[in-house]
Structure 1
Amino acid sequence: MKGLIQWYLVLSFLLLSLNFKVDCSLSSFSSNSSLEVFFISKNNLVGEIPSSICNLMSISILDLSNNKLSGTIPGCLASRGNKLQILNLNNNDFDGPFPKSLQNCHDLQVLNLGNNKINDTFPHWLGTLPPLQVLVLRSNYFHGQISPSEHESHFSALRILDVSHNEFSGFLPTTYFKSFEGMMNLSNVQTKSMEDFNFYYHFSVRVTVKGLDIELERILTLFTTIDMSSNKFQGKIPEIVGDLVSLQVLNFSHNSLTGHIPSSLGNLTALESLDLSTNKLVGQIPMQLIGLIFLEVLNLSQNQLVGLIPQGNQFNTFLNDSYRGNLGLCGFPVSKSCGKDEEQEPPESAFHEEGIYSCPLDWKFVMMGYGCGLVLGLSTGYIMLTIGKPEWLVRMVQRLGYKILRRLKSYN
């Protein structure tokens, strides 16, 4: 019986979608309090959300993303007693202030209001919603500082935070970073998708991952990201960010951040993408970042970093673009060489092969000597072989030639 009801709902949504594609409006919607999912994305809907939709008290998923809806977001969507778990209004033309009534949605897990024209300050009161895991406010007109109010919870379950491309200012929110327990330890979280509680709805969110904007069709509970890029943040990057050990993507680019890159970022062992580009960061690149063995994308360009670029592990794979605009950096892969005091010494094992011991030799001259010896030896050997005597000299030259060839191969 339950399966029949679910398929009936699926068919109803298909019919509703066809109807809205023709009408291009929500005005024809008639309320139905029995609906649990209202999913009409990518249908060229225009106009404002009608008040009749607010009668759907039993809705758990409301997805009106990728349309052309406008006006303010109705406060009645978040009336007391509703069961809303996912609200996705991404990529529309909503304006006005942030609907504070959303703090009444005590079951809310996902809130995506990205790519609209909402003009307001950061909704710190959402921190009181214990289940909230995904908060996307990117590409709006949010402004001011991101600072929590006293005596409030601070997003303890949050795993995806995207406030990029706004006008936030002030310092990075250290208090919130200390409270992001969902980004500190995910060892006990089962690997599943956000939408597993509803088999016919697939939630997606657009995030910047590894330098590219991509659409995540199925969000795993193990995916964690912070994107605060393209704002007006200033000050230092807090050391506490290094405690968010489950982070996979961290993006603080295109701000006015100063100070050094915290060495604590070396604790983010799950990190796959780190973007700190286009800031005012100074000092050297911390050697601790070599330990980030899963790091696939690194962008430190357009800062004021100096000194030797670390070598080893993933750092051997990054190209010059990762460091462009830092005139004080030297070493591989940039063209500027470091001074002798800053040059890295070759690994000790390189000096002990074939009985060669560590000594301050210029290996270019050593290799040139080998090359000359090889030419001389082969020439002499050819002459001796041609005249056929003396045999003892022929055998000696052959052994010497083979030995030189083996050593050359070992250094290639």
Structure 2
Amino acid sequence: MLVHLDLFNNELSGVLPPSIGNLGSLEELNLSINRISGELPAFIGNLTNLRSLLLLSNNFFGEFPAFIGNLQSLESLDIRECSFSGRIPLSLGNLTQLQWLVLASNNFLGELPASIGGLRSLERLDASSCNFSGPIPPSLGQMLSYNKIPYILTAVILSSNRFHGEIPTSIANLKGLQVLSLANNNLEGHIPSCFGDLTKLESLDLSNNWFSGQIPQQLTGLTFLEFFNVSHNNLTGPIPEENQFPTFDNNSFDGNSGLCGKPLFKECENSEAPANEDQIAGSKALFSGAFDWEIVLIGYAGGVVAGLVLGFNFSTGIVGWFLEKLGMLQKTRRKKRRRRN
């Protein structure tokens, strides 16, 4: 009885053979880093015992199929660096056992579906560089009916998309968040002061957006914060000086002509005071330039594929932070982005 099928990095090409659909006992299927093409065939939906489906870095195309919702035993799903398009199916929300979801570097259409709020076991979400548009779904932070969700979801990576509007304050409900990256989008408004409630946060990247107003003083309460980047926005006022903020270099604040105070050379006027509450949204500022960094993790244990592959799009500093903290191999690629009008 075949339980684990690992075809990782074998230069396979062509389409998947239908015989794979007969492997009903299969729990792990790793087809990563090949040249397999065509649409994802419907017989994959027959593999209802699958716990891990890794398809990253292939030539799949077409819409990501709705039958994925049949695979309700899935714990990890990685489809990064394929050429999937169309809308993410609402049936994705059926995967209540899913812990790792990596959608990065595809060409999806429209919004990230609100059904993602149904992923009650989710620990890490990477939906970076996917061409998503619209607002960030508030349902991402409205999982309070699942007692564990506010604490087990530790990483949300939504960078390098076309999300617009304000950050939903419901994200502050995710008390277990350690990594939050919303960089390289069209987000606007103020930085929510309720982010100060994310006390486990270690990395916060809001760079290359249109945020305005002041940096909330409440963020000084994030005593575990090791990486912070709000560069290339339209922020104003003094940079907070308490706790970990003096450890961030000036690159974290570049491209905000209205900011003042250390580590910048621009001194603040005496009349300027740190913000103690949410700021009213102001004007928008164009930004340019972005870095697209990717980290690929693949692990093996006892011949069983236990590898989970994550793609993260962070700015320069977070790569060093992530490598130091997790000891990961890195694969980086720099992309230039056009200035938004």
TM-score by length of 2: 0.76
Rounded Cα–Cα distance in structure 2 between residues aligned with 1:266 and 1:83? 41
1:251 is displaced (CA, Å) by: 0.5
Note if 1:158 corresponds to 2:122: yes
Contact 1:93 1:117 in 2 (8 A): yes
- Superposed CA deviations along residues 124-156 of structure 1, whole A, max 9, x for unmatched, are 21112221111111000112022336xx97212
1:140 to 86, 90, 106: 106
Deviates more, 1:322-331 or 1:128-137: 128-137
**Larger relative strand fraction:** 2
Q: How far did 1:54 drift?
A: 1.2
Structure 1 residues 142 and 289: alpha-carbon distance in aligned structure 2, compared to 1, 3 A threshold:
same
Partner Cα distance (1:97, 1:114) in 2: 14
CA contact (8 A) 1:131 1:157 kept: yes
Determine the C-alpha separation between the residues in 2 that align with 1:170 and 1:265: 21
Match of 2:29 in 1: 62
Q: CA deviation at 1:185?
A: 2.3
Higher helix share: 1
- Contact kept, 8 Å, 2:117 with 2:141, in 1: the verdict is no
- Would the aligned equivalents of 2:140 and 2:171 in 1 still touch at CA under 8 Å? no
Query: Whole-Å Cα distance in 2 between the matches of residues 78 and 156 of structure 1?
Result: 21
SS at match of 1:77: helix
**Structure 2 stretches lacking a partner, 5+ long:** 275-341
- Residue 185 of structure 1 is matched in structure 2 by 151
- The answer to whether 1:322 aligns with 2:286 is no
5 Å-filtered alignment, 1:98-113, equals 98-113=64-79
Aligned to 1:82: 48
Q: Residue 184 of structure 1 aligns to a residue in which SS? A: helix
Kindly provide the amino acid, as one letter, of the partner of residue 98 in structure 2.
L
Separation in structure 1 between the aligned mates of residue 30 and residue 229 of structure 2, nearest angstrom: 34
> How far is the alpha carbon of 1:166 from its aligned partner?
1.5
One-letter amino acid matched to 1:169: S
Give SS of 2:93's match: helix
Confirm or deny that 1:342 pairs with 2:272.
Answer: yes
After TM superposition, give the deviation of residue 244 of structure 1 in Å. Answer: 0.7
SS for the counterpart of 1:240 is helix
Pairwise mapping of residues 86-235 of structure 1 onto structure 2 (< 5 A)? 86-148=52-114, 154-179=118-143, 181=146, 182-186=148-152, 224-235=154-165
Partner of 1:261: 191
In structure 2, relative to structure 1, the CA distance for the partners of 1:70 and 1:117 (3 Å cut) is same
The one-letter code of the counterpart of 1:249 is V
Structure 1's consecutive aligned runs of 4 or more residues displaced over 3 angstroms after TM superposition are 180-183
Q: Classify the secondary structure of the residue corresponding to 2:134.
A: strand
Tell me, yes or no, if structure 1 residue 285 matches structure 2 residue 215.
yes
Give the aligned length. 272
Question: Match of 2:334?
Answer: none
For 1:263 and 1:153, the matched residues in 2 are separated by 23
Letter in 2 for 1:164: S
Partner in structure 2 of residue 209 of structure 1: none
Q: How does 1:320-399 map to 2 (within 5 A)?
A: 320-342=250-272
Find the aligned partners of 1:136 and 1:67 in 2 and give their Cα distance.
Answer: 17
User: What is residue 322 of structure 2 aligned with on the other side?
Assistant: none
Percentage of matched positions with identical amino acids: 43
Deviations 1:292-339 (A, max 9, x none): 111111110000000000012211100000000000000000111100
Higher relative contact order (CA 8 A, sep 6+): 2
The answer on whether the counterparts of 1:98 and 1:119 sit within 8 Å (CA) in structure 2 is yes
Give the match for residue 354 of structure 1. Answer: none
Between the aligned partners of 2:234 and 2:117, the Cα distance in structure 1 is 37
Deviation at residue 343 of structure 1 after TM alignment = 6.7
Aligned partners of 1:313, 1:70: CA distance in 2, in Å? Answer: 51
Where do 5+ consecutive residues of structure 1 fail to align? 1-33, 187-222, 345-412
Question: TM-score, normalised on structure 1?
Answer: 0.64
